[in-house]
Amino acid sequence: NAGVTQTPKFRVLKTGQSMTLLCAQDMNHEYMYWYRQDPGMGLRLIHYSVGEGTTAKGEVPDGYNVSRLKKQNFLLGLESAAPSQTSVYFCASTPGAKLFFGSGTQLSVL
């Protein structure tokens, strides 16, 4: 039972490049989330999904897009990366309350 798996774990981008972060969960959870963690800012919700085919904006959605085509996967896309998007990104899922987190993706945008 892998839980929540994030791919990749580390990535360095140049300004303007695009990339997709993949979150996969094998617990059949309905709800999935993308957060970013920055020093002194805590975890801020980027986007979330309450079921397959649905997505909703969180606190800091600008510059990101998401898709939940399959229940087990939640993709986070950066179309044109900016240095302000340098952060640690966490994916989480839940059946309804307790959040299960992935191990994080460290992204640097130069």
Q: Is 8 left (phi over 0), alpha (psi -120 to 50) or beta?
A: beta
Angle at 12 between CA 10 and CA 14, to 5 degrees: 160
75 vs 92, which CB is nearer to another protein?
92
Closest to another protein by CB, 33 vs 64, is 33
Binding site for another protein (CB under 8 A): 31, 33, 35, 40-45, 48, 50, 56, 58-59, 90, 92, 94, 96-99, 101-104
**Nearer to another protein among residue 85 and residue 94 (C-beta):** 94
